[in-house]
């Protein structure tokens, strides 16, 4: 039996599509397959994160999913993110299988990536490896990339989580962003960059926030595998 996926459009509407016929546009009105719930003393760390990529909240079901969602939102090559995007069903050597991936990602280059997030210590478990292997075969046969992501570099995650506090573009003035990019055309330290844009923003605190926003949008770059500080060297992209 060929694999198929179920795409939820609402509580009452679910589209069932053979995987070979699936196109990204079918997810335009899709909602997560599972409802993200929050309640006291729950075992899982579920939540909702406002994604700059989507301009809307995206759900997660664990701290590890949140970490990988944050990095996807920071990736300038990512155009679109859907959590718990669909249920895939099929047969594997006479055995029925079903699986809900953690994320479906579309990139600016038109490629599509299905993402499962698993702790690294679970990847050695035969049952987990077997399930992920089936998922990889199914999605790669359809021409989609398939990734299993685990714990990211802790320093990188810490830096990106800090920069995410400055991700909301509507909090910044477009003219000030453009002027800052002109001012920061050469490499300099973070501290020097913040001082350089003070005349644009009219204050030290706003200047620092603007530089951090430019780092989030990756108009500026630095080595984020090292803790960000006022001595970090920033370069225009």
Same domain for 49 and 9, yes or no, is yes
The token pair at 125 is: 């478990």
Give the C-alpha separation, 98 to 94, whole Å.
13
Same domain for 102 and 39, yes or no, is yes
Same domain for 137 and 158, yes or no, is no
The mean of the pLDDT values for the chain is: 95
Give the C-alpha separation, 107 to 76, whole Å.
9
The string of pLDDT tens digits covering residues 71-116 is 999 999 999 999 999 999 999 888 899 999 999 999 999 999 999 9
**pLDDT of the residue at 41:** 60
Number of separate domains in the chain = 2
Same domain for 54 and 168, yes or no, is no
**The last residue of a domain, from among 120, 149, 178:** 149
Same domain for 16 and 88, yes or no, is yes
Whichever domain contains 81, its CATH number is: 3.40.1350.10
Residue 45 pLDDT level (bands cut at 50, 70, 90): confident
Same domain for 189 and 213, yes or no, is yes
The string of pLDDT tens digits covering residues 7-32 is 999 989 999 999 999 999 999 999 99
Supply the range of the domain harboring residue 61. Answer: 4-149
Same domain for 103 and 17, yes or no, is yes
Same domain for 196 and 135, yes or no, is no
Same domain for 162 and 122, yes or no, is no
Q: Is the pLDDT of residue 217 over 80?
A: yes
- Strands of the chain, DSSP E: 4-8, 14-18, 47-51, 56-60, 78-83, 87-92, 95-99, 103-107, 112-117, 145-149, 188-189, 220-221, 233-236
Max CA pair span of the chain: 69
More confident residue, 37 or 212: 212
**The last residue of a domain, from among 149, 165, 183:** 149
First-to-last C-alpha distance (Å) of the chain: 49
Same domain for 30 and 141, yes or no, is yes
The string of pLDDT tens digits covering residues 122-134 is 999 999 999 999 9
**The last residue of a domain, from among 134, 149, 164:** 149
Same domain for 141 and 158, yes or no, is no
Same domain for 167 and 222, yes or no, is yes
**Average of per-residue pLDDT across 39-50:** 76
The token pair at 222 is: 């630095």
């Amino acid at each position: 039996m060929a694999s198929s996926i179920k795409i939820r459009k609402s509580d009452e509407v679910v589209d069932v599509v053979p995987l070979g016929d699936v196109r990204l546009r079918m997810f335009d009105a899709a909602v997560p397959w599972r409802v993200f719930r929050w309640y006291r003393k729950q075992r899982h760390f579920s939540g909702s994160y406002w994604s700059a990529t989507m301009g809307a909240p995206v759900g997660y079901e664990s701290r590890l999913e949140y970490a990988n969602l944050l990095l996807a939102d920071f990736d300038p090559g990512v155009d679109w993110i859907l959590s718990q995007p669909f249920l895939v069903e099929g047969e594997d050597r006479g055995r029925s299988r079903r699986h809900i991936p953690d994320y479906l990602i579309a990139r600016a280059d038109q490629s599509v990536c299905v993402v499962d997030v698993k702790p690294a210590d679970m990847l050695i478990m035969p049952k987990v490896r077997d399930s992920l292997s089936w998922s990889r075969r199914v999605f790669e046969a359809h021409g989609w990339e398939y990734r299993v992501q685990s714990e990211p570099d802790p320093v990188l995650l810490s830096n990106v989580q800090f920069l995410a506090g400055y991700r909301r573009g509507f909090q910044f003035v477009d003219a000030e962003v453009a002027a800052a990019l002109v001012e920061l055309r050469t490499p300099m330290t973070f501290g020097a960059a913040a001082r350089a844009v003070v005349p644009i923003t009219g204050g030290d605190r706003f200047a620092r926030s603007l530089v951090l926003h430019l780092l989030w949008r990756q108009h500026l770059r630095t080595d984020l595998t090292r803790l960000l500080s006022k001595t970090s060297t920033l370069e225009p992209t």
